[in-house]
Each structure stands twice: as C-alpha cells, then as structure tokens.
Chains A and B, each alone.
Chain A
C-alpha cells in the first residue's frame, strides 16, 4: 500500500526541535500583520492589506473570514493553507450545531483548529500548516474571547495579540496601551487595534482592513470612510498629545 512508502516529513532533530514546524512559523512571520483586541462588549480584528496590482480586482474581504455567525478569524501566513483550515472549521461549526444543538464555543472551535494543525505535524507525507490564526467571537452565554493558534498546534487565549510581520512590535505596543478602560469602551478598543496596526503599516486607510463584532450582532467590516474617520480621530489625539507636551515644556 502506498501509505507504507510515505515518509514522515516532520521528525525530531537531535536537540529536540521539530524543524518543519519552526520553518512554518518562519513562513508566518513573513505574512502580513494581523491584530486582534478583545473588549468587554466588542471584539476587533485588523489586518494589513498588501498593495495590490493596478489591474487586480480589489476585494474588500480576504483575510478576515466568518466561521459562523458568532465566530470570525484572521490569519497570517500562507493564504492557500488558510482556505483549507477555514473550510474545515466552517463545516465543524455546522456539524457541532447539528449533533449538539448548540453553537460552538470559541474554545471548542479553537481546539478543533489547533488539533487539526497538530495532526499535520505528526502524519505521513504531510507538512504543517503555514498559518497562525486569530479567532474572535462571543460564546452563546455572551462572553467575548480571542484565541491564537500557531503551526505547532498550540492555542492560547489573549486579551490582545498580533501575528505576522513585525508581530513583536505590535504586541509590545498593545502591552503598553491595553487597559481595562480601553476594553470597556467599544470605540477605544477599535482605536487601539488601528493604532497598533499603524505602528508597522504605512499610514493610510487603503492599507488596513478592520472588522468588529459586537455581542449578538453579525460581523461588520468597517468601510473605507469609517476607517478614515477613526484615523482622523487618532491623528487629532496625536496632535493634542504633542501640544500638551509642548505646553508642559515651555511652562
């Protein structure tokens, strides 16, 4: 049988590393940045939109996908790999609704995706998935969640996180500026996600994609105008900060 001739691609190195998994994580680091913020009543996903060729049709939604009415995800890494995972996750969300008569909890679907990723690090002839996912949403009891999975198949819950290119810089920004007050306010949470993304992305509403989900409401992709408005607010706040600093210096 042909399965006898498939060799495992992911094998241990002498010092205990799974190099294929680590190379997959490198592939993730090359992907465009994605950021997620969990507020008290809102969850926000932001992605960096790569500049598209002139003749290419611009599609508003590519990297932020809906897995179910109450679950959305963004990813960084190989888009083709993501498509496979998203398909399986969508089927699993519906399958869960059918067998258990309840929508999936965020923890369940994250665990499912993570288990799937892990399986591919321990199978014949398969390579790991080259993507890191940020999964957001609300459980049916109303609690918001943000989870991150990576190519090794681990998953963790976060209050705010980033993945992809320059994820470390973005995460440091989030660590500095994420407070409970920010989380309590919907508008502040959205602004935080945008500001964090702007740390590493060229300024301009054309380069970012933002999506928000409020409790019991469907996922909403922010239009270009709405993003411009928030960016204008952010700019204004920056100017006010600069003014204040000038004043304290002179006085």
Chain B
C-alpha cells in the first residue's frame, strides 16, 4: 500500500511460502514468482532460521552430505607494474582427482578478474552475477565500476546467504581510477584489501615462497617467475593442487593471460636449475 511504503513499514506476510534474502522492500506474491525465475536471487526456506535449518546438510552430519571441492591454490599480489594472478587447475572430490584442467580465474570483464577457491559452482555462479551487476553499473553511471565497489557488491550478495552453506574464497583483481586493486572476499562476508593474498588448501605453501621472494620493485619477468614458482611449490606438497599454472597480469589497460604451464614441466625445469 502507498502509505506503508512511504513509512517504510513491512507487514509480516505469513501467506508467502518463500522469502527473499536481505528482506528489503515489499514482499508479495509477485516476489515469489519472480524469485523462481530470477537469476541473481535464491528463494530460501520459509522457516524462522534458515541457517540453522541448513546446518545438518552443510556440516556433514546425517545421511545427506554436500561435499565441496576445497582443494586449490590461488594467489594474487600487487607490485609496481600492476597485479599478478596465478592459480592451479586441479579439482578434487574427496581423494579422487576430478579434473586437471579447471579454469579457476573468472574473467568478469576486460579489467576485472575473479579467482575461484572453495565450491566451484558457488564461485563461478556468483562471479557471473557480479559481472552482470558490473555491466549494469557501467551502463547506468557511464563509467567503469571501481574494484572496491565490485568487491563490495559481491561481499554484500553472499552475506545475505551467510550460514546457509555457500563456500567461496575469491580474490577480485582489477585496475581503476585509484590504480591496481586487490580484494579478498569470502562466503563468510569477509572483505579485505591488501598487497598479497593466497587462498586454498595449498595457500600456506604458496605464502612461504611468495613472502621470501616478494619485492615491490621487481621486474615484470621476476614477478611472473615468482607467481609460477609459488603455485608450483604448493602443487608439489599439497595433494589437492596440481595440473597447470594459469598466470594473468592485470595492467592499466586491462588484464592479459601471460601463460599456461604444466607443473610437471616446472618441476623438471627447477630440478635442472639446482644442478
């Protein structure tokens, strides 16, 4: 009703079977139908506490188990020539290697990249939704969205589903008016900005190599080598990481895909260098 919305009053509507997360605005029958077809919202169970309701399905108790592929190593770091993004390409289901050729860098648009760690479907779905939102922003405001705003949009979207079993640890990388941007966003709603991040089961190994070799004023070739080497060492020790190293470089003019290198080739190359 007109007066209701002017006063921002929300009447509870017990007739509606499906609620919309975020709880903003009027909720009526058309909402239910819209949510079924909507590509950027999920209808959530009509119970008092959806997170509690979904707990048994997400924590592995009981008969129903939703197991996620968490095994991965992804990293990104800022330095004087922009941002490097390096990822592995292995997907595991338990101890089974499901694929060695997964694309864990999602190309949101020519100047924004997102990495994938955790649930593959969660990452790729929500980052595609983010791409849609970024494009709409661009059209409405006649200028590119900033990396801060893009990462905030994603963080706010997943925060609506906090506790309901989304699994996503992603890094949003881009170049905007403020220069190179790197944000870490995860499904708990954490959003952090820093010069270096590594996400996934192999992240600890990658951090070791990254931290010891990192310098702000490295050359471009040195930075490429550092990214590749960090992923290699993570894949060498972490069973859940492997395959190939996909290397991207975010420049002022947008990102470029630098290389795709099999970790086995890197293994023998480094072995030779040691001699």
By a beta-carbon cutoff of 8 Å, the part of chain A in contact with chain B is: 2-3, 6, 84, 99-102, 105, 107-108, 123-126
| Residue interface bits B1-39, CB-to-A below 8 A is 1, else 0 | 110001000000000000000000000000000000000
- Does B149 lie within 8 Å of A124, measured CB to CB? no
Asked, given contacts A100-B146, A101-B146, whether A125 binds B2 with beta carbons under 8 Å apart, the answer is yes
- Does A2 lie within 8 Å of B146, measured CB to CB? no
- Does B149 lie within 8 Å of A102, measured CB to CB? yes
With an 8 A cutoff between CB atoms, is B44 at the interface?
no
B146 contacts across to A, CB distance below 8 A: 100-102
Asked, given contacts A99-B156, A100-B152, A101-B148, whether A2 binds B1 with beta carbons under 8 Å apart, the answer is yes
Instruction: Show 10 residue pairs from A and B whose CB-CB distance is below 8 angstroms, ordered by the A residue.
Output: A2-B1, A3-B1, A99-B153, A99-B156, A100-B146, A100-B148, A100-B152, A101-B149, A108-B141, A126-B2
B149 contacts across to A, CB distance below 8 A: 99-102
Whole-angstrom CA separation of A187 from B80 in the bound complex: 45
A100 contacts across to B, CB distance below 8 A: 146, 148-149, 152
Residue of A nearest to B141 (CB): A108
Instruction: Among B1, B6, B141, B152, point to the contact of A99 (Cβ < 8 A).
Output: B152
The 10 closest A-B pairs by CB, nearest first: A125-B2, A100-B149, A101-B148, A126-B2, A2-B1, A3-B1, A99-B152, A124-B2, A6-B2, A101-B149
**What is the minimal beta-carbon distance from B241 to any residue of chain A, in angstroms?**
33
B141 contacts across to A, CB distance below 8 A: 105, 107-108
| Residue interface bits B146-162, CB-to-A below 8 A is 1, else 0 | 10110011001000000
- Which B residues from 147 to 199 make CB contacts under 8 A with A? 148-149, 152-153, 156
Whole-angstrom CA separation of A123 from B1 in the bound complex: 10
**What is the minimal beta-carbon distance from A34 to any residue of chain B, in angstroms?**
25
Asked, given contacts A100-B146, A102-B146, A108-B141, whether A123 binds B2 with beta carbons under 8 Å apart, the answer is yes
Whole-angstrom CA separation of A3 from B2 in the bound complex: 8
Whole-angstrom CA separation of A101 from B153 in the bound complex: 11
Residue of A nearest to B147 (CB): A101
**What is the minimal beta-carbon distance from A99 to any residue of chain B, in angstroms?**
6
**What is the minimal beta-carbon distance from A94 to any residue of chain B, in angstroms?**
14
Whole-angstrom CA separation of A100 from B178 in the bound complex: 13
- Which B residues from 125 to 146 make CB contacts under 8 A with A? 141, 146
Residue of A nearest to B3 (CB): A125
- Does B152 lie within 8 Å of A101, measured CB to CB? yes
Residue of A nearest to B153 (CB): A99
Whole-angstrom CA separation of A101 from B141 in the bound complex: 15
B148 contacts across to A, CB distance below 8 A: 100-102
Whole-angstrom CA separation of A105 from B177 in the bound complex: 15
Residue of A nearest to B150 (CB): A100
Whole-angstrom CA separation of A101 from B146 in the bound complex: 9
**What is the minimal beta-carbon distance from B140 to any residue of chain A, in angstroms?**
8
Whole-angstrom CA separation of A100 from B149 in the bound complex: 4
